[in-house]
Amino acid sequence: MQFIDQVKVYVKAGDGGRGCVSFRREKYVPKGGPNGGDGGRGGHIIFKATRDINTLLDIKYQQQYKAEKGQHGMGKDMHGKNGEDLIIPVPLGTLIKDLESGDVLSDLIIEEQEFVAVKGGRGGLGNTHFKSATRQAPRYAQPGEPGEEKNLILELKLLADVGLIGLPNAGKSTLISALSAARPKIADYPFTTLVPVLGVVKHEDFKSFVIADIPGLIEGAHKGAGLGFQFLRHVERTSILLHLVDISEMAEGDPVDNFEKINKELELYSPELIKKPQAVAATKLDIKGDGKRLDRLAQYCKDKDYDFFPICAVTGKGIKELLIYLAKKVEEHKK
């Protein structure tokens, strides 16, 4: 399934039905009064969060939504039927913004949480409401009110506790497959992961938590290099960032420089994001070579006070210690 995490939509609630102008015509009631019923309310448009979907793909291919109009009022004081509400399911973590102002209207992060994006128009009153001692045969009724309409932006921010960041081929996909049941594509070339991947991590002594592999971040991402910043919104909700750095003898560039380049891109994207708790995992420990790259990164993390974990996701070395550390950090954040 194609991963879509941002779409623009136009929503139009249903118009209210007009009130009815009607008079009683009964055989034994020679002077029947007004009996026009009210119009029905137009349908609302409601967004509802659900775990059953994880992308905005369906909405991308139907970017206009219109709710049902209310029925007009009828004679014999019959009220027109209300327009049916239109409920649009969206993934958990969907942010709803006004296109013109950019204001956040709702953040749907709870299962079955609902947001009424636009309200249906009120139905018009029938002529029976306008009868009085001096106006016993009113020949007018109210029109229905128009339903609200808006242009919106829907933005999906995945609900993950831990975000994996790092250069392409740093080992993010291998690590998430070692920690969870997620099975992202793994290969020895860059950009094998083209969309965020979620995995649920379980440990017998801790509550389960969600980890996200955020792809495509390289130097120059703020200028559109690689996959740019398009997926970084998915780490904004995380408790902690785990920065993976390749210290193998085949890795390109200095490990400390690689680390600082990615953090610079995070800061350019959002100064708040760089303030998140961050730990460092030195990956591919099984092919570290003479170990100088590992030592340099370890000393840097010690000097900068980053929690540091040398690991090998293939052999499992260091994975248990890292898992316990992440589980503790997530629980601390949720207290």
**Alpha carbon distance 160, 198 (integer Å):** 7
Domain CATH number, residue 75: 2.70.210.12
Nearest-CA neighbor of 122 among 70, 79, 74? 70
Taking only the tens place, the pLDDT of each residue in 94-152 is: 999 999 998 999 999 899 999 999 999 999 999 999 988 888 889 899 999 999 999 99
Q: Is the pLDDT of residue 158 over 80?
A: no
Q: Is the pLDDT of residue 5 over 60?
A: yes
Q: Do 202 and 304 sit in the same domain of this protein?
A: yes
User: C-alpha angle with apex 77: 33 to 42, nearest 5 degrees?
Assistant: 135
Q: Is the pLDDT of residue 50 over 70?
A: yes
Q: Do 151 and 176 sit in the same domain of this protein?
A: no
Return the pLDDT at 27.
74
Q: What mean pLDDT is predicted for residues 55-62? A: 84
Is residue 238 one of the residues assigned to a domain? yes
> Which pLDDT band, with edges at 50, 70 and 90, does 220 fall under?
low
Q: Is the pLDDT of residue 56 over 50?
A: yes
> Which pLDDT band, with edges at 50, 70 and 90, does 14 fall under?
very high
Q: Do 299 and 313 sit in the same domain of this protein?
A: yes
Domain boundary among 156, 171, 189: 156
Q: Do 181 and 323 sit in the same domain of this protein?
A: yes
Return the pLDDT at 230.
62
**Alpha carbon distance 109, 178 (integer Å):** 27
Taking only the tens place, the pLDDT of each residue in 270-290 is: 888 888 899 999 999 888 888
Domain boundary among 131, 156, 181: 156
Q: Do 133 and 277 sit in the same domain of this protein?
A: no
Q: Do 215 and 236 sit in the same domain of this protein?
A: yes
Q: Do 213 and 288 sit in the same domain of this protein?
A: yes
Is residue 70 one of the residues assigned to a domain? yes
> Which pLDDT band, with edges at 50, 70 and 90, does 182 fall under?
low
Is residue 32 one of the residues assigned to a domain? yes
Beta bridge partners of 156: 94
Q: Which residue has the higher pLDDT, 67 or 228?
A: 67
Number of domains in the chain: 2
Taking only the tens place, the pLDDT of each residue in 74-105 is: 998 999 999 999 999 998 889 999 999 989 99
Is residue 246 one of the residues assigned to a domain? yes
Q: Do 170 and 151 sit in the same domain of this protein?
A: no
Q: Do 105 and 184 sit in the same domain of this protein?
A: no
Q: Please give the backbone phi and psi of residue 245, each rounded to the nearest 5 degrees, phi first.
A: -125, 125
> Which pLDDT band, with edges at 50, 70 and 90, does 69 fall under?
very high
pTM: 0.71
> Which pLDDT band, with edges at 50, 70 and 90, does 156 fall under?
confident
Is residue 218 one of the residues assigned to a domain? yes
Residue spans of beta strands (DSSP E) within 168-283: 197-203, 206-213, 240-246, 278-283
Is residue 203 one of the residues assigned to a domain? yes
Is residue 1 one of the residues assigned to a domain? no
Report which listed range, 1-10, 24-33, 81-90, 190-199, is most confident: 81-90
CA distances from 217 to 62, 73, 191, 220, 307 (A): 30, 59, 9, 9, 22
Q: Do 218 and 146 sit in the same domain of this protein?
A: no
Show the domain range for 40.
6-156
Domain CATH number, residue 303: 3.40.50.300
Q: Do 254 and 229 sit in the same domain of this protein?
A: yes
Write the Ramachandran bin of 7: left for phi over 0, alpha for psi from -120 to 50, otherwise beta: beta
Is residue 188 one of the residues assigned to a domain? yes
Domain boundary among 115, 135, 156: 156
- What is the four-CA torsion angle of 211, 214, 218, 220, rounded to 10 degrees? -120
Q: Do 249 and 290 sit in the same domain of this protein?
A: yes
